[in-house]
Amino acid sequence: MSSPVTVGFVGLGTMGRGMARRLVQAGLAVSVFDVDPAAVEDLVSAGAKAADSLESLGAQAGVLMIAVVDDRQVRQVMGAPGGDGLLARAAAGTVVLIHSTIHPDVCRDLADLAASQGVQVIDAPMTGNPAAAASGSLSVMAGGDAAALSRARPALDAIATKVTRLGPVGAGQLAKIANNLAIAITTRAVREALQFAEAYGIDSDAMLTLLASGSADSWVARNWRTIGETADSYPGGPAGLGNLTYKDVSLALSLAHRAGLPIPTGAVASQLLTDAYVAAHADALAHRDRRPPPG
């Protein structure tokens, strides 16, 4: 009989908090770490244990999950064998899942570093929003060893309804960056369509319904106000969410340049993201204000 999966989770922010809660709800033994004590306490109250350091977390969990913001933070969390961070004391056979959207080269570098002590890295970025994280309905794009991915499946199955292995380490990040490029372009397109319609007296209630029911349907059109609500609660508001997406589109632009591939629509969309999120946020608030009070 295989031993139960023990999970260590780092990064209890907009997405990570809901993901960690799902792990607890699935009955897994979960320890968490975050720089925000309130976020840790929230998960402890839900049934997780608090790790006192990244090093102790790395030593005690068979599956380590990272949901921080960028390349720098992921490198800092991972650390190095014999040094600090998760790799300081992680045992051979440990699987590290990197859920952050970062450069695929960083994932490859960290995978090589971890392999020196028998730890395997899977890049596992996900699509979805905070509600999907909380309900366990994310979609995960994975890159890395198939056997390591299989060992991590109990944790992944708790947070996602779909897990797709796309190839070696880095492949998951490439797919996620392509996905976010499409979202950025579509977000800008929906923003301009609503702006155009509003200029001629067609409100967003009517236009969003039309977009979602016809040939212009998209995830963005169907979730326009959810995007606005996410911006409302995201650190930094709409500008913060715009900066996060800009980071992902910038990765796409850099990788496209490496491949000699022009993506001009992505380049333009990247400069206009904050405006789109500001518009979605304003529309979500206006719609909320128009709703009748409950009862």
Whole-number pLDDT of residue 295:
56
pLDDT tens digits, one per residue of 215-242? 999 999 999 999 999 998 888 999 999 9
CB 66 within 8 A of CB 99: yes
pLDDT tens digits, one per residue of 124-136? 999 999 999 999 9
For residues 240 and 268, state if they share a domain: yes
For residues 137 and 261, state if they share a domain: no
CB 122 within 8 A of CB 146: no
pLDDT at 293 exceeding the cut of 90: no
For residues 156 and 193, state if they share a domain: no
Q: Which residues of 85-116 are buried (b: 16+ CB within 10 A; e: fewer)?
A: bbbbbbeeebbbbbbbbbbbebbbbbbebbee
Q: Which residue has the tokens 């033994």?
A: 29
The answer to whether position 248 is within a domain reads: yes
The answer to whether position 192 is within a domain reads: yes
Q: How many CB atoms lie within 10 A of CB 200?
A: 6
Domain hosting 218: range is 174-287
For residues 187 and 162, state if they share a domain: no
The catalytic residue positions are 176
The answer to whether position 185 is within a domain reads: yes
For residues 127 and 259, state if they share a domain: no
pLDDT at 4 exceeding the cut of 80: no
CATH number, domain of 263, equals 1.10.1040.10
Q: Structurally, how many domains does the chain consist of?
A: 2
For residues 262 and 136, state if they share a domain: no
For residues 52 and 122, state if they share a domain: yes
Percent of the chain with pLDDT over 90: 92
pLDDT tens digits, one per residue of 6-19? 999 999 999 999 99
Task: For residue 57, report the phi and psi dihedrals to the nearest 5 degrees.
Answer: -65, -45
The answer to whether position 186 is within a domain reads: yes
Determine which helix (DSSP H) or strand (DSSP E) holds 96, and give its type and residue range. strand 95-98
pLDDT band at 289 (very low <50, low <70, confident <90, very high): confident
CA atoms within 13 A of residue 27's CA, in its CB half-sphere: 2
Average pLDDT over residues 186-205: 97
The answer to whether position 294 is within a domain reads: no
pLDDT tens digits, one per residue of 135-190? 999 999 999 999 999 999 999 999 999 999 999 999 999 999 999 999 999 999 99
CATH number, domain of 123, equals 3.40.50.720
Q: What is the mean pLDDT of the chain?
A: 94
The answer to whether position 252 is within a domain reads: yes
pLDDT at 3 exceeding the cut of 70: no
CA atoms within 13 A of residue 237's CA, in its CB half-sphere: 9
Token pair for 8: 């260590």
Task: For residue 161, report the phi and psi dihedrals to the nearest 5 degrees.
Answer: -95, -15
- Helices of type H across 200-236: 204-213, 219-222, 224-233
For residues 214 and 163, state if they share a domain: no
Distance (Å, whole) CA 11 – CA 33: 7
Whole-number pLDDT of residue 233:
84
The answer to whether position 111 is within a domain reads: yes
Helix (H, G, I), strand (E, B) or coil at 69: coil
For residues 52 and 163, state if they share a domain: yes
For residues 126 and 142, state if they share a domain: yes
For residues 146 and 229, state if they share a domain: no
pLDDT tens digits, one per residue of 78-124? 999 889 999 999 999 999 999 999 999 999 999 999 999 999 999 99
pLDDT band at 1 (very low <50, low <70, confident <90, very high): very low
Whole-number pLDDT of residue 5:
87
Q: What is the pTM of this model?
A: 0.91
